[in-house]
Structure 1
Amino acid sequence: MSIAHNKEGAMIRCSDGTTYHGDILVGADGANSGVRQSLYKLMQSNGQLPDSDAKGLNKCNICLVGTTDPLDPEKYPGIGGPSALLYQMIGEGTSYTWSSMTVPNNQICWNAVMQLGSDESEDEKFRNSEWGPESNEAMIKEVRDFRVPTGTLGDLIDATPKDGISRVFLEDKLFETWNNGRVVLIGDACHKLLPSSGQGAVNAMQDAVILANCIYELRSVAEGDVAEALRDFKEQRYPHVKDQYKASQLTAKLLYGQTFFERLVRNVVLNYLPKSVQLKSMSKDLAYRPQASFLPQAPKRGTCYVVPQRPSKRYQEERELSKHL
């Protein structure tokens, strides 16, 4: 795959040889974004790419994850109830943490997460090329005796189809370069968050909303106007994403951390941090609610503060014009 962009437009050539042309190329193709790699290759050849963006994703943990087949409620108490039951277990004398959660259809989602040191993350035995259903067995053997509320993790693994078990790196990276000329990146393509805080997909959707707003305000598709709109998109989104990126790292340490300091922080946060401080932090996250500026705004509900929406000049102008028609 390759891309090109100039004052006339943007072009992408896919792996099957087909080409597509447009005014803007949006790379929304995930953490291993081909659009990002092609864009960065072009920028690097021109001396435009920051050194930090030339580096790959940070590999923080390895996660073994799966979902069981439907289970017998008599053998697995708690499943089939009106609420989901989530249990998080933190190991003693091991680099593992693990969890189980009841889901509809009498099934249980489970995972085991191994914390990596900086040396381990680059070790040959952890490289993706060696991964597959058959190579999961070594990790399964290490975790199968870990206790969960319904028995052992091994019980859940045995109740899970082999092809339904995945082993993945939990990676993160906040890239500095989100846009160049007519090309822009959104979602995991420019900011890969750890899943610990549940903000990865949320931020991808918020990217899409703000990018749509910036495109809506475009007065022309001239190269300069497009580039300015894409710069505006990053300026609006980057500060919030940076906060969420840091929050996901902190939450990961609380959930998976095994060092003395991480255990100390976890003990303080879970047992001594006032609820008022926790609510304040949560309210700050909930306050950011971007909406499509070209649609009627949804009314505010609840009691939390909401960050004011940037008004759309074009939308207001069109509304005023419609009154006189």
Structure 2
Amino acid sequence: MGDACHKINPSGGHGAVTAMHDAITLANLIYSMPTKTSEDITAIFKEYQEERYPAVMESFKNSQVMSKVTSRGITGAVVLFLATRMPMWLWRIMLAKTVRFRPQVGFLPNIPLQGSVVPVVSPSEQKARALFNRQQHAAASI
């Protein structure tokens, strides 16, 4: 999980975030596994990879930019110059892209949306949430 799986430059601060998102995704998938067979375990790791790859690649690209900002020399100076003079509307677009991946644990009560960026709801969260809601409904009808 995190830096152990994803080679991301630490200056971007994405290592711990990817580790937490990886853990949430795996927890949701393990929770929603129909059986504990090796076929199901293999299937959830495939789902995990398909789900996490786009977000991790975005973090990787962001960490590359951060490594350029922190590098010494002309490249770092130019990137830092541009970044500190970027219009606010462009910063908002860039920040919205970085915070849209906010997975939730699907087998706990849902956390209401706060803020202005609508998060991407992950497939693993949807699966775990559907199972959790079915179990809650079944428990309430007893």
- The letter for the 2-side match of 1:207 is D
2:109 match: secondary structure: coil
Deviations 1:178-203 (A, max 9, x none): xxxxxxxx222211321212111111
Aligned residues: 138
Task: Give me the TM-score of the superposition, normalised by structure 2.
Answer: 0.88
Higher relative contact order (CA 8 A, sep 6+): 2
Contact 2:104 2:110 in 1 (8 A): yes
Question: How far is 1:294 from its partner?
Answer: 0.5
The question of whether the paired residues in 1 share the 8 Å contact of 2:68 and 2:75 is answered with no
Question: 2:24·2:104 contact (CA, 8 Å) conserved in 1?
Answer: yes
Q: CA deviation at 1:308?
A: 2.7
State the match for 1:211 in structure 2: 26
**2:58 aligned with 1:222:** no
- Structure 1 regions of 5+ residues with no counterpart? 1-185
Q: Secondary structure at the match of 1:191?
A: coil
Superposition deviation, residue 289 in structure 1: 0.9
Structure 2 counterpart SS, 1:282: helix
Secondary structure in structure 2 of the residue aligned to 1:280 = helix
SS at match of 1:204: helix
Percent sequence identity over aligned pairs: 31
Give how far 1:316 is off.
Answer: 2.3
Which of these two proteins has the greater Rg computed from alpha carbons? 1
Partner of 1:323: 140
TM-score for the superposition, normalised by structure 1: 0.40
2:116 corresponds in structure 1 to: 303
Deviations 1:69-126 (A, max 9, x none): xxxxxxxxxxxxxxxxxxxxxxxxxxxxxxxxxxxxxxxxxxxxxxxxxxxxxxxxxx
In 2: Cα distance, 1:191 partner to 1:257 partner: 25
Return the offset for 1:211: 0.4
Structure 1 position 200 matched with structure 2 position 15: yes
Q: What RMSD, in angstroms, separates the aligned Cα atoms of the two structures?
A: 1.6
Gap runs ≥5 in structure 2: none
Question: Counterpart amino acid of 2:46?
Answer: R
